[in-house]
Structure 1
């Protein structure tokens, strides 16, 4: 087995003790667990999924999980995970995840045929955001990474893992010759981490205003959803 691609190693202070962590490309063997954590932590906590009601309907959750598990294994999908930095090079526990998909200008729009009203509403939310700020047009690049989620498990939040995952995204963009990275930031943690890494807000809309447009209620924290970008040097 080839060694895992290591994007960064860093130390953090957790509960008064120093721990060593690393960001690596996720091997195929952990991709199903990545999606399990995505459903457990990202989907259940993200304000857009909650506003659409996805988390309250088991059928909607499954309608999301199945295509995500398929997509994460496809070419062009780039998944990085944070784990403990151990000598044996094994991923014993996934502590944080960054998911992106490599997109090229002119790629056909993916087609979706959802059965649940909650997933249809989620798609409406994403379509509305895209109509307000077109990612592909704004990034003005032939190729770019489109965000598919970034999260950290609760026990490891607040120690800099979000920031390191965003830094790893910069490194991945640089390696792939992509001049800018962008993502919709819907949580306070990711917005703060992005600001710490020098990402700038290119577009912002209050969740209250977005909710009125779509007939849904969003959490009040954070007050706005932001499309944030980082120039790659």
Structure 2
């Protein structure tokens, strides 16, 4: 029998029709069978909708989409990416329906430089944007964090949006950081959904960049919906 998944939280949400869903968030190892579904949802719902991926034209290239997994699940150090899945509370650990997910990677100052070589121009452009944003605002330097968690993406499947699942996943990020003794968790919030969810959970905007300006800097086209990306942080009392 496989080891039981770690449960981070249990909560209930009410749909517009009045029905109540009892949900939980669980930590999923990379070798779990549900990881295939997590990655499918990531490609289908996150990559094709997230403004940075769109600007780099990643969804327009089959080859670039095939290279995404390397970016999402990479880690320079020994720690594996932290994958949290929101599912029904009555799902057993072997049969999980993915309603949403959060992926972060633990980063330490002692880690060797991350070396990712992508063949497609779309993924190369994506990394140019990612690196450029890190130069503009780097929470590791600002708050002298060691270690810290680097965001790899947060998504909620379309049928379950507007129920507070994104906010719950952000709350779990706080819990994870507390367990690791990390006082700050930050991420670029690029959509209205994540920006609003973060605001509801008490995250602060510490840097805001207009997509119009980023278009000129990186020679790309953003959807401008919303008009800006915000680097938002949660302060975690230890």
TM range (shorter): over 0.9
Q: Counterpart of 1:45 in 2: which secondary structure?
A: coil
Query: How far off its partner does 1:33 sit?
Result: 1.7
Query: How far off its partner does 1:172 sit?
Result: 0.7
Paired residues, number:
231
Residue number in structure 2 paired with 1:162: 166
CA contact (8 A) 2:56 2:125 kept: yes
Alignment of 1:60-75 (within 5 A): 60-66=64-70, 68=72, 75=79
Residue number in structure 2 paired with 1:143: 147
Unaligned runs of 5+ in 1: none
**What TM-score, normalized by structure 1, do the two folds share?**
0.93
Q: Counterpart of 2:181 in 1: which secondary structure?
A: coil
**Structure 1 residues 186-218: Cα deviation after superposition (integer angstroms, max 9, x where no partner):** 111011000111100111110110111111110
CA contact (8 A) 1:25 1:79 kept: yes
Query: How far off its partner does 1:60 sit?
Result: 1.0
Residue number in structure 2 paired with 1:21: 23
1: distance between equivalents of 2:180 and 2:70? 28
**Structure 1 residues 78-110: Cα deviation after superposition (integer angstroms, max 9, x where no partner):** 010000010745543100000001111232221
Residue number in structure 2 paired with 1:42: 46
Computed over aligned residues only, the root mean square deviation of the Cα atoms, in angstroms, reads 1.6
1: distance between equivalents of 2:22 and 2:233? 28
Q: Of 185, 201, 207, which residue of structure 2 is paired with 1:203? A: 207
Q: Counterpart of 1:175 in 2: which secondary structure?
A: helix
2: distance between equivalents of 1:103 and 1:173? 12
Alignment of 1:161-180 (within 5 A): 161-180=165-184
Structure having the higher helix fraction is: 1
